[in-house]
Amino acid sequence: MTTSDFHVYDTTLRDGAQQEGLNLSVADKLNIARQLDGLGVGYIEGGWPGANPKDTEFFRRARSELTLGTAELAAFGATRRAGVKAADDPLVAALRDSGAGVVTLVAKSHDRHVELALRTTLEENLAMVRDTVTHLRAEGQRVFLDAEHFFDGYRDNRDYALEVLRTAYGAGAEVIALCDTNGGMLPPWVAEVVHDVLESTGVRVGIHCHNDTGCAVANTLAAVEAGATHVQGTLNGYGERTGNADLVSVVANLELKLDRAVLPAGRLREATRIAHAVAEVTNFPPASRQPYVGVSAFAHKAGLHASAIKVDPNLYQHMDPVLVGNDMRLLVSDMAGRASIELKGRELGFDLGVDKDLVTRITNRVKDLESRGYTFEAADASFELMLVEEVEGRRPSYFDIESWRVITDSRPGEEAVSEATIKLHAGGARIITTGEGNGPVNAMDHALREAIGQAFPEVAKFELIDYKVRILDQGHGTDAVTRVLIETTDGERSWVTVGVGHNVIEASWGALVDAVTFGLRRHEEKLP
């Protein structure tokens, strides 16, 4: 299937950017466009030139700064205003001057929207569609049409909604995307309407779905099964309200489930990397349970699942995660059985299957610790340290703690300042350091890394990048057990450690010590 046979059209930079709290700079949009091109989409909708300065600037800079290998840049805009020639409308001129080879026009296909929102007649709306498409085609640009509120308009006035499609197609629009703008459709309804549109108009049909019923991906697939050959969506499902159809889920389902090659060969294997890279640019953490590319998409926790996976991974996985660039993960928890521990050990480089007593001992220890509040499914680094201790008979140790303490000084009208003092032995010396921070954990982190750094300079690369606290058995109030998860990075990869205690500072200290210990062990393993 070629690009002309089937369109994969991304609107992350325009429709996705309308998500609450998502704000993209021009540099961000250029970065994301390059990532989308790497995925192999056919079209990237860059925004609405002329409607806002940022999108106008994006198209200006894209001419010299954006080199696309697979995708074609599309500009989004509206049909001309009522009573004005398309050639004289400044917003149409901005589309014409954008440099984009494709223009996607949004047009009203719901009669009530025409009369109430545009405040014009149904006949004038058809003229607006016809004139704008004809003008842009005459200027050498390809035109796609987004039939806004189409499904609602179809229900209220089928004849008029279909006439809008015929008018645009007759004027030269290549594709008419039926938009479920309010996101209220269900798959059988979408399929029925698409069938009718194809039979009644003969236009080339595309689909644009929002996720208000939780069916955006399913609705898109239903449209394709009914005959649509152009799909629109956003990376990671970004979009206003509940978002748009997640384009990765759409193309993965089409390629892996319906055997339709809609991306260039091999590009789908980049999906996980690209989805996460774009999440970093948007500053929205990747959704762990996102289909196909989420970190939990192929994570297995129950012992029963692990036993089956040990025999054949496909018994509890619907596909090989490598096909979308993801990995299978084994989670160690109080639900873990022997198979989970063996598989997790193998993942970390330990062959535990030869020692059944060792596996039993580790399994029992995990269950005991988790009953006291620890969690290892989210703290692989702490689990690996425990595993090394059980396998080698001693815990990795690079320093010995003599004592630590934290004080917080607070004065009226001033921000509180914390100070931590740590005494430890490392590299054959007794070291005492003091660190300040905007909180006790921040102060401890500074003091600990400064102390250990005198013997192990590589800890200067370590940085605490996430800190989570959860209160367990909340019925005990301030006497409840506290669990702390800390994520640390060395600039190349990150790892998570866990600490538990009645005192949040004590729990944090345990997680910090594990974090530094794991980082030093990892650095030691990399040495020649």
Same domain, 275 and 341: no
Among 314, 337, 368, the domain boundary falls at: 368
Q: Give yes or no for a contact between 147 and 201, defined as CB atoms under 8 angstroms apart.
A: no
- Is 76 inside a domain boundary? yes
- Is 465 inside a domain boundary? no
User: Alpha-carbon torsion 361, 367, 371, 376, what sign?
Assistant: positive
Please give the pLDDT value at position 314: 64
Across 340-368, average pLDDT = 76
Query: What is the spatial distance between Cα 68 and Cα 65, in angstroms, rounded to a whole number?
Result: 10
CATH number at residue 188: 3.20.20.70
Please give the pLDDT value at position 3: 61
- Is 485 inside a domain boundary? no
Same domain, 266 and 323: no
Q: Between the CA of residue 72 and those of 24, 43, 56, 101, 454, what are the distances in Å? A: 20, 5, 17, 7, 54
Same domain, 135 and 160: yes
Please give the pLDDT value at position 477: 52
Please give the pLDDT value at position 304: 47
The kind and range of the H/E element at 432 are strand 429-437
Same domain, 65 and 199: yes
Same domain, 267 and 305: no
Phi, psi of 399 (to 5 degrees): -160, 155
- Is 501 inside a domain boundary? no
- Is 474 inside a domain boundary? no
Residue 354: pLDDT above 80? no
Same domain, 119 and 31: yes
- Is 214 inside a domain boundary? yes
Among 333, 348, 368, the domain boundary falls at: 368
Same domain, 54 and 170: yes
Query: What is the spatial distance between Cα 353 and Cα 6, in angstroms, rounded to a whole number?
Result: 49
Same domain, 195 and 311: no
Comparing 389 with 159, the larger pLDDT belongs to 159
Same domain, 99 and 248: yes
Query: Among 21-35, 68-82, 275-289, which is the least confidently predicted range?
Result: 275-289
Residue 380: pLDDT above 60? yes
CB-facing half-sphere around the CA of 236: CA atoms within 13 A: 29
Query: Among 37-41, 162-166, 295-299, which is the least confidently predicted range?
Result: 295-299
Q: What is the pLDDT of residues 389-423, one digit of tens each?
A: 888 888 888 999 999 999 998 888 888 889 999 99
**Number of other CB atoms surrounding residue 158 within 10 Å:** 14
Number of domains in the chain: 2
Same domain, 67 and 174: yes
Residue 160: pLDDT above 70? yes
Q: What is the pLDDT of residues 37-79, one digit of tens each?
A: 999 999 999 999 999 999 999 999 999 999 999 999 999 999 9
What is the span of the domain harbouring residue 141?
7-282
Residue 211: pLDDT above 50? yes
Same domain, 143 and 247: yes
Query: What is the spatial distance between Cα 47 and Cα 14, in angstroms, rounded to a whole number?
Result: 5
Among 332, 351, 368, the domain boundary falls at: 368
Query: What is the spatial distance between Cα 403 and Cα 397, in angstroms, rounded to a whole number?
Result: 16
The kind and range of the H/E element at 167 are helix 158-171
Nearest alpha-carbon partner for 405 in 516, 509, 479: 509
- Is 414 inside a domain boundary? no
**Number of other CB atoms surrounding residue 247 within 10 Å:** 29
- Is 494 inside a domain boundary? no
Same domain, 274 and 314: no
- Show the DSSP H helices in 393-490 as ranges: 440-453
